[in-house]
Structure 1
Amino acid sequence: MGSSRLRRTLAAAAGLATLVSLAACSSGSDSAGGKTTLTVATFSDFGYKPLFAEYQKTHPDVVIKERVSQLDQHHNSLSTQLSSGSGAADVMAIEEGYLPKFREVKDKFVNLADYGGARRKTEYLPYKWAQGTSADGSFVMGYGTDVGGLAICYRKDLFARAGLPTDREAVAKLWPTWEAYFKTGEAFRGKVKDHAWFDAAGNVFSAMMNQTEYGFFDRSDSYIADSNPAVKKAFSTTAKAAADGQSANLVPFSQQWNAGIKQGRMATITCPAWLTGLIQTAAGEDGAGKWDIAAVPGGGGNWGGSFLTVPKQRKHAKEAAELAAFLTSADAEKKIFTGPTGSLPSITSALSDPAVQGTRKEYFNDAPTGQIFAASAKDLKPSFRGTDDQQVRLPFGNALQLVEQDKASPEEAWDKALSEAEKNLKH
């Protein structure tokens, strides 16, 4: 999902997203029976319900309400709420791709440094902390929730049919680079012609782009996609693989995508930690033991991750900041990762915690997910995200779909992507 589109469809799939409290739809009341009411708004299940119950036990004067909506709706609503000065929750989640946009209006948010937030710098992965703060570190806009440490989920049975190794360490050695990944895909397709190599070209392209130091924008926030060789290389190699039939041509997180996973239409999927649960749900009992997880090409990787912020318009900034800090503590992030949602911590001590390092997924052949995803997150070199990053990523994903659908050649799709991206830039 570009990242935005993928996370949007994820939210629709995970969205099964329901509103936990209708009262939380509005600005909400600030007190109930003499207690302070705090509303937390997210765009998918962040795994917070047990933590809310735990917090309320130790803070009997606090009542927590949850508001869950789809990704785009959530962020679009926040834009409106900030403009109107009302309607925002006490604690608002913001996905990393949207954060640069909201950082432009950081005066609408509480500076968490005023509540001791600056002291948390050493807790976080350096690139995660940098994303949520101003350049000089004086303004702490949000506390990091998770990171999307990236791996490759693969079908062992299909690899065996193709005569490829199935052991996860041997599989990782097949693709030290993305070029090697696509070359392995060619070999796979030569032996197993009725299955694709990967699910969607846009997913692979996003994974590659998230490994670049600078992709669509440089450090000065100037648009460089049309001149950056890293963007052209990632697009061209992915588009060529799609044109050669390596893609299953599935819209990520759609019903079609879920059915494709259940039917085993692809041999590999670019796979952040939070995606393992979706694969398990889509593949069902029949998929148990068929899937495994190996390291991602190109070293560390990341796909997704969010922050908890506190809008100024609410009355209980101190209480909201304390709740946001609790929900993003090392202990809380560890509990979330070892729970059903499986979101990977962004706190370094949590990533190294034995409970996280020792986590394994029985469904994926008992894969050591804690070790695999934590290593990927730690090895990743940060990728700069421009203010309009979300807007310009989408056309590249759309253009790759045209290649998958045989509606454009890779060259034609590249020209289309550049043209549409230019239109999406702010002028």
Structure 2
Amino acid sequence: MTTAEYLGVPEPELAASGALHTAREIEQQPRMLAQTHALLSQLRERIEAFVGPVARDPAARIILTGAGTSAYIGQCLAPLLDRQLAARVDAVPTTDIVSCPRLYVDPDRPLLLVSFGRSGNSPESLAAVELAEALVPGVRHLLVTCNPDGALGRVAARQAMTLQLPEETHDASFAMTSSFSCMMYATLAALAGVEALDARIAAVADAMARVIADARPALQELALRGFDRVVYLGSGPFQGLAREACLKLGELSNGAVATCFDSPLGFRHGPKTFVTDRTLVVVFVSGDATTRRYDQDLVDELRQDGCAARVIEVTAHPRPQAARDTLAVPGMAAARDVELLWPYVAVAQLYAFFASRALGLSPDNPNVQGTVNRVVQGVRIHPLAD
């Protein structure tokens, strides 16, 4: 009988080291993307009827919201969706809505609140829905969740639609991986139109699968180098992705690796002092020709400085002169940046996974102290003051 492997490691070894859930959930993502697309295709008419009146209204607002990794879904998608839809699209974490509701929620504008929840049980997610209900007449809620038993999918709202994703996306690991990628895809399909993705889903899923398979050895080698600082940089939607990459590494290393994120242009304005001779810098390079020049300028500058231990460019447009320090995404040279989000995030997830194992931690539960939890604890929700 052949022993199953995930990320090149036999299943019994992963189970014994507390890494099985994380490895399986990273590797399953291309398949889960295809399933999510099929689900959204079946629901396309219902979704359009629910979100269309807000999305087509120039006076309306769409807020993409969640906490932690779920918040970064919104930060990746908001600038892209804001260009496509008539409504204004913003990414506002639930943690900001709950603490400063009147700063972020406008009672005088029609609102679609898009809430993300892997478990659907985060107290801020539930409180954000309740605050929007209290403050905005006629608010609509699109609830994107991975847990069929979560509270988010059962909220008491006047106008709500739940996108219940395949149960396998309800990651059992401490860190969100397939839940992030599939909730992000479902939201893009729901708001931009699933039919716009029909011709591209196979290429996106294939590119992600090839990165998971082909970039694995290089990322494992980098993780074994023991960098004590890692910088993730990206322009446009990739700045949100850089933030998610930092969180993933921070979670799976249990804080042992210091992280920093920024845009390539912004990095020169002070944050560049973070770089030492034990720092790995990873740049998510844009597919846009103009933006890519700025990204590559910063990559070349950092290499010429000679201060960082390694500078890696993740790109669909590999440069022959930088082959040693390039993680190439094959077959995506004509892709839009939104399509690169999925293969690019696989790089960050893989590096965090291998870094966790190199540190002797269990990726499925790296924080043995229990100071942070899979579903946040210790949050006290206060009533809305007059």
> TM-score, with normalisation over the residues of structure 1?
0.28
Q: Which has the larger radius of gyration?
A: 1
Q: Give the number of the structure with larger relative contact order, counting CA–CA contacts within 8 Å between residues 6 or more apart.
A: 1
